[in-house]
Copies of this chain bind each other. A is one copy, B any other.
Amino acid sequence: MTKGLKQKIIDQVSPDLKKVEIALEHNLKPNLKLVKKIASHLLFSGGKRLRPLLMIHSARICNYDNGFEIQFSVLFEYLHAATLLHDDVVDEAAVRRGKKAAHTKWSAPKVVLTGDFLLATALDIAAKTKEPDIISVIAKITRDMSEGEIDQLDKKGKLDLSEKEYFEIIKRKTAVLIQGACKSGAILAKADREKTDALEQYGFHLGMAFQMADDLLDYTAGAKELGKNPGADLREGKLTLPLIHSLGNASLKDKKWMENVITATSFSPALFEELKEKLYAYKGIEYTEQKALDHVKKAKECLSIFHDGQSRELLCQIADYSIERKV
């Protein structure tokens, strides 16, 4: 089932994806070889190009399909890469997309500055759209994401992180960027308010589902599928919904035990397995799956105002796939 859906999506987007890859290569023009190297390390290591695809089809669903939607869409991949570089430095993550994180190969300052360079590249393309509202979207994304990261840093290891705080964090961390890509497609197409809002809401719900699926995978996937070690969130002291919900339901004894695991800076694979069992037992996994599914449902409902067609179908499939994916 999952593979079928993934393949269906790939079949539909592969001609566009080829053009996206060319545009990504073409617009990356640093003066320094080192910047190219650091930026390419992340940019060309197998990203799904989800954000460009969302902008492309948000434009097309609003009847904009003159080809510029592909050229402009890559700005969201650069923006995404810029935030990943800054986040990896902030989180001191060791692995990203199955490769060593950039700052473990180059110094953190160089990685931060390469992030700035990629942000500038995104801005340059945004300016070419001649749509000031797209710049406002990018400003909002950058503001929300930077504040979200600081907030998350401040809340690291907070054992009583609430569900509400968690939703706020993942909104800023993931949903605003996906939301922004969808909204920008609508702006580019000069869509009316109703359609623009619908695509913005679609993006929000998709982003929330997407991040919850990610947070689930950090417990349920193997290292190979994940492209990084599972349990990374736990190791960094980040509480995500499966854990938050389970902590709320656990017996006092199990709660204490789980809190000890969270507080420990490292844990054995066996201990991690034991924790996972508790997340299943206290329905943290199931609850998170249900919440993600709710967002997928809402995302698809947002698309109901659009006429049937290839872009609507694809955006629906992407919503479904966001929680079915194994990586």
Contact-residue bracket for chain A: 35 or more
A145: nearest residue on chain B (CB-CB)? B116
| Interchain nearest-CB distance for A201 vs B (Å) | 21
Cβ contacts A116-135/B at 8 Å (1 or 0 each): 11011101101111111101
Is B90 within 8 A of A146, CB to CB?
Answer: no
Is A149 within 8 A of B90, CB to CB?
Answer: no
A47-55, A136-144, A189-197, A233-241: which one contacts chain B? A136-144
| Interchain nearest-CB distance for A234 vs B (Å) | 20
Cβ contacts A169-184/B at 8 Å (1 or 0 each): 0000000000000000
A31-39, A213-221, A268-276, A296-304: which one contacts chain B? A31-39
A9-17, A150-158, A254-262, A280-288: which one contacts chain B? A150-158
Is B35 within 8 A of A147, CB to CB?
Answer: yes
- Across the interface, which residues of B come within 8 angstroms of A119, CB to CB? 119, 142
- Across the interface, which residues of B come within 8 angstroms of A135, CB to CB? 123, 126-127, 132, 135
Contact of A114 among B117, B136, B146 (CB under 8 A): B146
Is A150 within 8 A of B114, CB to CB?
Answer: yes
With A109-B90, A110-B150, A147-B32 already in contact, the answer to whether A127 and B116 are too (CB < 8 A) is no
A and B contact pairs by CB, cutoff 8 A, 14 listed:
A31-B147, A32-B147, A32-B150, A108-B108, A114-B146, A116-B145, A120-B139, A121-B143, A123-B136, A123-B138, A124-B139, A124-B143, A127-B139, A130-B132
| Interchain nearest-CB distance for A154 vs B (Å) | 7
Number of copies: 2
- Across the interface, which residues of B come within 8 angstroms of A223, CB to CB? none
| Interchain nearest-CB distance for A47 vs B (Å) | 21
Give the 5 A-B CB pairs with smallest separation, nearest first.
A120-B142, A127-B135, A120-B143, A123-B139, A116-B146
Q: Does residue A67 face the partner (Cβ distance < 8 Å to B)?
A: no
A168: nearest residue on chain B (CB-CB)? B31
With A35-B147, A150-B35 already in contact, the answer to whether A140 and B117 are too (CB < 8 A) is no
Cβ contacts A71-90/B at 8 Å (1 or 0 each): 00000000000000010011
Q: How far is the CA of A121 from the CA of B107 in the complex (A)?
A: 27
Is B112 within 8 A of A151, CB to CB?
Answer: no
- Across the interface, which residues of B come within 8 angstroms of A117, CB to CB? 142-143, 146-147
With A135-B135, A142-B120 already in contact, the answer to whether A112 and B130 are too (CB < 8 A) is no
Q: Does residue A30 face the partner (Cβ distance < 8 Å to B)?
A: yes
| Interchain nearest-CB distance for A27 vs B (Å) | 11
Q: How far is the CA of A47 from the CA of B17 in the complex (A)?
A: 47
Q: How far is the CA of A108 from the CA of B129 in the complex (A)?
A: 34
| Interchain nearest-CB distance for A114 vs B (Å) | 7
Q: Does residue A113 face the partner (Cβ distance < 8 Å to B)?
A: yes
A92: nearest residue on chain B (CB-CB)? B109
Is A150 within 8 A of B120, CB to CB?
Answer: no
With A34-B154, A109-B90 already in contact, the answer to whether A120 and B132 are too (CB < 8 A) is no
> In chain A between 84 and 111, which residues have their CB closer than 8 angstroms to a CB of chain B?
86, 89-90, 107-110
